[in-house]
Structure 1
Amino acid sequence: MNINWNSGRLWLRIFVYGLGTLLAILAVSQTLIFWQFDEPAVRHALTDSLKDTGRKVIIDGSITPRIFPSPGLDVDRVTITEPDGKTPFAHIGRLEARLGWMALLWGNRQVKSLSLYSFDATIQRSQDGALSIADLFARRPQHEYGVRLDTLRLRDGSLSWLDRSNGQKARLDSVNLDADGLQSQGKVSAGAVLADDKQPLRLAINTPLTLQDDQLTFSHLEAVAMSDVEGLGQSRLLLEGQYQLNFATFKAGGTNAALTFSSEKPASQIKLTVPTVSAGLDGLAAPRAHLAGNASYGRSVYRVAANLVDVKILRGRIDATHLDGELNWLVGKHRVRLTLSAPFSLVGMRDLRLAPLTLSAQAITPLLPRGQLISTMRGSLDGNLDAARLNLHAVGTLDGSDIAVNVSQFGFIKPRHEATIAVGRLDLNRYLPEAKGDPVAIFQNPDPIPLEWLDFFDVSGKLTIGELNVGRFRVKDIATNVLATPRELDLDPMSANIYSGRLQGMIRLRRGEKAHIEVKQTLRGMNIRPLLLDLLSFSRLDGKGNGQVAVTAEGKSFADLRNTLSGDVQMSLNNGALTGIDMVAALKNLPAELKEWNAPAQPNQKTTFSTLQASFKLENGVGRNQDLKLASQLINFSGGGKVDLRQSIIDYTLDVQANPREFTSLKGINVPLKITGPINAPVYALDFNAMVKGKKTEGEKQQALKQELKKQITTILP
């Protein structure tokens, strides 16, 4: 009989008959297994499988044998107790165990595959550090059933953790795991959800693995934790590296380990790399580690780098014998660079401490004439990460001046600060744009005032400054409460020693398209001459002054503030002088002396007075006054006029009343005086119109002007 082996029909018959035969064999085998299956014996064997540990295995459900695709058992509703035989350790909704065919043919019942469904287990750590599951990993004699897993499946399970040494608790839900090839080059993938009161944390692991005796090797572990964190958006924690775990000793080690944290808002990434690490039940140790990261938020870019030496993680705390770090904060062309050095500790993964701390700060910006500002300090840094709070206590130098700071920060993304700062001397001229033209009076400067630095502040607290310099303006012993936000800067209340006097009041700056400044101050016992000289380059007035100031101004520069200055100013001077001119001598020798009045001020000449009082109404940089009064033993002034700060000019009319015993030539008349021209170089002249005002006849005018005086004055005035 010839057989056509190339016939498709022949191969179809062989396939159909072969498949039917195989199904028949399987059906017969399944029938034989069910027929010979001794359920009570199997139940008894499983119940006593952990008897040597003191644990009990309680089966409340059915036990069903399986033949396809591999022989094994399905067991429902299994409970395993703790070694005390009473306390539940784990509940398993369904357990599927599969045996190896080849081992079974040789009479060995070896579990090759294990699947657990709907399980719930609790792992505990005792006061002495021992794990409650340690006995399950110990080697024990195998009787009817051996275990040599090649496949492990976990589905829809929960794991709880309780550390009785510190009271810490944790729970994993939705636990799923697939492990294949456990007897050779295997692979594990797992996922779970870490339950948290604030935000659940999703976990995932993927890694190749090799199991040899008691040693489990992860040649390239990737473990990911993800969550939506308030204020950070989608956040991700990635663990990588090569790790080994010994089940017998519960010791682990790793090389090229890396832990990376990243977030969306702000866009950030921080990576901790550890060349070598060793771990056990008591903790983890690494000879050294390196931290590097960056973050972008708004206009700001943050960069951090740090090296840690002798790192240990023991019972919920992290310690390093030394940390050297650097933090850079960049905003456009501006940069703040912080370097710090200190021992490091983090207790309970929340309480941070660096002490003793050495801190160096360097500000690099085009706004600074020298390009940078340097501060070095020593102190301590502590905080609570759960509360997002940091506290810095330090003393040192700022740009060569003594400084002491106590600062508390609340929040990491949009931080708020409470601070107490004491500075020995602060020269703002170093940090303001350089004045062009006349560098003496700061209110002549038309350059924009830089206020962008307020964008990064949310600070409240107290500030003391031993000496503050702005232009040539000097203030000492400043003490004030400070509130600084991106839109506002308040110094209220504020007190200071100013030009040998005392100042008390408030200053408020509000930002907008233009800066708006409000000043309310009370002055006592102040030397007026150096103040006017430093602010306005005016040196013709001297004396001890008191006053009240309530003014506002707005603009983009100091010149704008001067030009919009409005409000009320009241002042009084005692035991003072008009310097640069001796009006007593000038009046005695009128009119010849009039030429000397308009000559450059003479430093050795002055007109003394006992009191000088005036109140000014300021409007857009122009101050008007109608109640000026000057009193002395020889002469009295009264009158009014205006001071134009915009144009730096003065226009005053004064009525000079002379003591007739000293001024016989002026007996019976008042001398009207005009003061006009630049503030720092005014022109003095007699007001002829005022002298003849109300005189109807020539005789009266002659009597008023004393004809000879009129002729002489005419020759010296235009």
Structure 2
Amino acid sequence: MKKLLKYSAFGLGGLVGLMLIVVAIVAATFNPNDYKQQIIDLVQAKKSRTLKLDGDIKLAFWPKIGANLGKVSLSEHKGSAEFAAVDSVKVSLALLPLLKKELIVDTVYVDGVRANIVKYKDGTTNFDDLLSKDEEESQTIKFDIDGVNVTNSAANYSDEGTGAKYSISKLNLKSGHVALAEPIDLETDFTVTANQPAVAANAKLKGNFLVDPATKHFVAKGLDASIKGDLLGGKDVDITASGDIDAKPDTKEFLINSLKLAATGQFSGAKLTIDLSAPELKALKDEVTSKEAKVSLVQEKGSDTFKANLVLADIKGSPKALQSSGITGDISGVQGKRTISGKFSSPFIGNLENLIFDLPKLAGNLDIKDPALPNGGVKGNFNLTLHADAKQELVDSKFDLKVDSTQLNGDVAVASFTKPNIKFNLNADTLDLNKLLGTSSAANPAEKTAANQKPADLSALKNLLLDGKIKIGNLIYQKYRLSGLNVGIKADGTKLALTGLNVKLDDSQIKGNLAISQFAKPLYTFDIDIDRLDVDRYVTANTGATPAATKTSDKPLDLSALKALNADGSLRIGSLKYGKTKASNIRIDLKADGQKLSLNPLAAKVDDSQINASIGISRFSDPIYSFNVNIDKLDADKYITKSDPNSKSPAAKSTGDTPIDLSALKKLNASGEAKIGWLKLANVKTENVSIGLKAADGIATVSPFSANLYQGNMS
């Protein structure tokens, strides 16, 4: 037996020695670079991709299997564009542990990795052909990696269906020991850019992390993260986060310690700063405790500032029933000479297990001071109740606000957080904006900038789902008075509509509907009825130079602003007064598409004249007018200003020897026809007047021109 063991040992030793000799010979004689072309041809044949091996391949076989690759690149499927590439890779692993399905690897060094990932419109990707089609489950292999060191790497992702593009560049990553279900020390920095949403920032991340998919256990200790750049719709944004987080989402167990979040940046010309601190939160199976958490917000724009502070007091209870002694907060702000301050508080209860939270009664007060307000300031108070079900993505709230004589109340409900569907009701007995906003001087028209010739892009309204009603008994703003306002507002992602509008503006009753659709190039539709309108009430008298003193421009009237108008609607006015002119039964149907504007029909009874017309305008920068006008009878003398013979002005003393200035016709481009059933001009009466006009390039032609004069006619 001893001899058997002895000879067996000799035999085994000889076999091992022979294996070592074979490995040594292979290592000394095998050159993998001799097989480069075969490898390239194999990849081309199997995957229809071009593999490039620019550097030498260096292999080691004992005591560890190792590889050191130079530049390697792989093309797109059946194409020449680069799919992925790497400048160098160095890796080595122990040989014998492989026999026990253990992967023990030294530090892996990777430099210059590049990858271009594309998702096509049909949902497929540019790497689908590389995925294994073997449906057998792979056996678990225990792995142990000493570390990973990645330098100067990049990855790009584009979605052809949505147009989204994301890019990570200048990626550097260094890790400590890597093993399944064990914490990893990790440090990385990179640059990230994107277009949906727009992002251009530099990021850094450092800490000890655990990601265990099997138990769904996630840990971050010593977290130190930051991102700086343009993101979240802001410029020069700087976000930092630090602390310890231990989370088991499935069982809703969380441990948070010394968590701090700080963010600052420029948003719409204002500097915004947010700070959050949560010293400690424990959410276990049977117990929930938390120390005081704080949030502060500061917004600065020039000399204007706004500040808000929120404090959540200690939380105690169980996951099914937790409560806090309350939420408290304060706000303060300065805007010009106006200051605002306020405080609020509310009890807080919740169910962490079902993610249900309630603010049973949030009550607060406001103090606004402004020398522009009637009494130098106003005070008010508000109440709010809120119920939130995060799991069902539902929020319900009711509010009541009273400021001076203004009292608002209503409710707001939100369904779905990814694309909120908002329902609301807003009611007010009196809304006096003069007492809330103060008086403001109107802007000088001369200071207004030129109108934008491009239609406003309202694409953001595609994400708005809204359904609500507004009822206001009286609304006061400057000299205007609105009463009995009732309107429904609905937005479904394709249209924003105001329906059932019913309001009285001063002495005018207004009813109708308005809507906006085609948000990228908005189409405005309307159907409005006004019982009567006194235009003089809203038109400021012109105290400037008289027409005689105004120099006539040789340039045509520029109506380029109409390029931005895309509208289709109808306006009806029962009676209208402007100066000494009175009109009734007015109807105007307007259509505009950015290229042409038409008023058809344009109908009204002006004093004793019934007018039916259609008017068109095109080529807005140098307008071309078209018209067709029918008037049953017209007393022109009624609208011609008679000069005072006793006046000393040159205009009054002018005689028939003074020629009529028709220079305005130089810039007139028009064509059309006017018909008047009965006309009185300079006490001359005519009937069946027909006038055709063509004007272009400084030449005006009146043809045909015909009328019945007394018992005769002229043409």
Scaled to the shorter chain, the TM-score interval is: 0.3 to 0.5
What's the TM-score, normalizing by structure 2? 0.39
TM-score by length of 1: 0.38
